[in-house]
Chains A and B, each alone.
Chain A
């Protein structure tokens, strides 16, 4: 955005017009194309079911899934709220734990050396294999679920934030030193803002992972009754061969994942659009 090319702004040539048209087309396509493709997929799904006379206990049509969703809304929405609560709580704890640990890591090399391997071990051990143990040792079912989801979700936040905190410009670090900045000032004014884009990248991954963690943990926990989440509803519906309800619950889980991802992306854009490369549209 230079101030010198103001006087040439009135002259618009053919190439520029073509460029503007292409940009406009792309803007519309960005929304229309995904919608059309999804609509087409749903339509094909419906036709496949109808044309091949597939019974609904093998593959229900989209209409039936929607009907089930509305019919079972009372039960499914309760389950959705349970899953959502665990997912969001796990994500919140992952953010606090991940960022907190990352800050401790950058404050002390020895702390990082001591505990980073632990974090890696937790990350690489599949949660499905730890979950049964957790449910043996932890009495509270909610606490167990939360723990499982947290184990899956916190690592991307930890590793991204640590990377970000260590990525400060070395000249800026020198400058802070020359001006006599305290550790706390350096962390607050320099390291945390530098780490923000990295953290937000981690948050986007962790959002999806905490949902996966919550669902997997529910599968393993397996106990039903009041206060059970979407994953248990899927299991239960499977035992009863209520395939449409399985699909309805699946639809809700997928939708939840999309909403979490979108929310994280919007947050990222809101915080970064003024200054960070990733959020700035190139002008040429």
Chain B
């Protein structure tokens, strides 16, 4: 695969996917998502930040194609093919009866490829997450963080155009979480991949992303967008810098703004 040498600065990136006027209504009257517009560009690291019930998981399920919008459109540049999408859930979601490499093999296996044919890809993905020595292990033999890494390797293995992550580190302890945050950024730097990351942690969203889409609840909708203009690579030093604190303050304010406009547009 030919990787771009670096991710171009925001504003100069090619469009990857566009959500226009997307509504999702459950059971005829529960509005999970209202009039969502979002343009995802190649190389974006977008966090969807918001309180529970703001429709961020719904947005992710719509993009992944697991649900169809009630109205509005989601368009991929050049159309969507299988393998364009990698997904990481809140739980590692591994098959316990399969070894690490068999789990990573899954996206290829479902396309009818034998494990021998894609051995290189599997080993590459495992190396990316630092688990190349654990290819024959079973998930139960791994720690929570390691299982998550396998899950990330599985989402990478097809070299997807877009990776969706639904609160992937929420169930991990703080230390593991920081480590995986750092590693995720390193991965992104290597692969120049596009990520949509759902979280309810302000700190995590600021540390990781270059765009934070703040969402509000009841009905779920986009409230505002915060641009995180701190340069990559971001390291542990960034975590303790004044810039980081300032950006977190900005994102927090946007989040509070979203919480306060609660219901404001619901009646409109």
A residues at B contact (CB < 8 Å)? 1-2, 169, 171-172, 174-181, 185, 189-190, 193, 196, 274-276, 280
- B87, A178: Cβ atoms closer than 8 Å: yes
Q: Given contacts A175-B87, A178-B65, are A169 and B138 in contact (CB under 8 A)? A: no
B267 at the A interface (CB under 8 A): no
Q: Determine the interface band of chain B, counting residues with CB < 8 A from chain A.
A: 20 to 34
- Interface hit among B89-97, B186-194, B224-232: B89-97
- B66, A171: Cβ atoms closer than 8 Å: no
Q: With CB as the reference atom, state the residue of chain A lying closest to B107.
A: A179
- Shortest distance in angstroms between A182's beta carbon and chain B's nearest beta carbon? 8
B117 at the A interface (CB under 8 A): no
- A193, B66: Cβ atoms closer than 8 Å: no
Partner of B141, one of A1, A171, A175: A1
Q: With CB as the reference atom, state the residue of chain A lying closest to B164.
A: A178
Alpha-carbon distance A169/B97, docked complex (angstroms): 13
In the assembled complex, 10 residue pairs joining A and B whose CB atoms fall closer than 8 Å, in A order, are A174-B89, A175-B87, A175-B106, A179-B82, A179-B107, A180-B111, A189-B95, A189-B106, A189-B109, A275-B140
Alpha-carbon distance A143/B87, docked complex (angstroms): 53
- B97, A275: Cβ atoms closer than 8 Å: yes
Q: Which chain A residues border B89 with CB–CB below 8 Å? A: 171, 174-175
Q: With CB as the reference atom, state the residue of chain B lying closest to A181.
A: B110
Alpha-carbon distance A275/B136, docked complex (angstroms): 12
- Shortest distance in angstroms between B157's beta carbon and chain A's nearest beta carbon? 11
Counting residue pairs across A and B whose Cβ atoms lie within 8 Å, the total is 54
Q: With CB as the reference atom, state the residue of chain B lying closest to A182.
A: B110
- B82, A180: Cβ atoms closer than 8 Å: yes
Interface residues of B in 94-132 (CB under 8 A from A): 95-98, 106-107, 109-111
- B95, A193: Cβ atoms closer than 8 Å: yes
B residues at A contact (CB < 8 Å)? 64-66, 82-83, 85, 87, 89, 91, 93, 95-98, 106-107, 109-111, 138-141, 143
Interface centre among A169, A171, A179 (most CB of B within 10 A): A179
Q: Given contacts A2-B143, A275-B140, are A180 and B110 in contact (CB under 8 A)? A: yes
Q: Which chain A residues border B109 with CB–CB below 8 Å? A: 185, 189
- Shortest distance in angstroms between B97's beta carbon and chain A's nearest beta carbon? 5
Alpha-carbon distance A196/B106, docked complex (angstroms): 19
Q: Which chain B residues border A275 with CB–CB below 8 Å? A: 96-97, 138-140
Partner of B96, one of A2, A175, A181, A276: A276
Q: Which chain B residues border A171 with CB–CB below 8 Å? A: 89, 91, 93
- Shortest distance in angstroms between A89's beta carbon and chain B's nearest beta carbon? 30
Q: Given contacts A185-B110, A189-B109, are A174 and B97 in contact (CB under 8 A)? A: no
Alpha-carbon distance A275/B96, docked complex (angstroms): 6
- B66, A178: Cβ atoms closer than 8 Å: yes
Partner of A172, one of B64, B93, B139: B93
Q: With CB as the reference atom, state the residue of chain B lying closest to A274.
A: B138
Alpha-carbon distance A2/B147, docked complex (angstroms): 13
Alpha-carbon distance A196/B96, docked complex (angstroms): 12
Of all A-B residue pairs in the complex, the 6 with the closest CB atoms, nearest first, are A171-B93, A180-B82, A193-B97, A179-B110, A171-B89, A181-B110
Alpha-carbon distance A72/B87, docked complex (angstroms): 68
Q: Which chain A residues border B87 with CB–CB below 8 Å? A: 174-175, 178
Q: With CB as the reference atom, state the residue of chain A lying closest to B87.
A: A178
Alpha-carbon distance A196/B93, docked complex (angstroms): 18
Q: Which chain B residues border A274 with CB–CB below 8 Å? A: 97, 138
- Shortest distance in angstroms between B165's beta carbon and chain A's nearest beta carbon? 13
Q: Which chain B residues border A181 with CB–CB below 8 Å? A: 110
Q: Which chain A residues border B82 with CB–CB below 8 Å? A: 179-180
- A174, B95: Cβ atoms closer than 8 Å: no
Alpha-carbon distance A274/B139, docked complex (angstroms): 10
In the complex, besides A2-B143, A171-B93, A275-B138, 6 extra interface pairs with C-beta distance below 8 angstroms are A171-B89, A176-B110, A178-B87, A180-B82, A193-B97, A196-B97
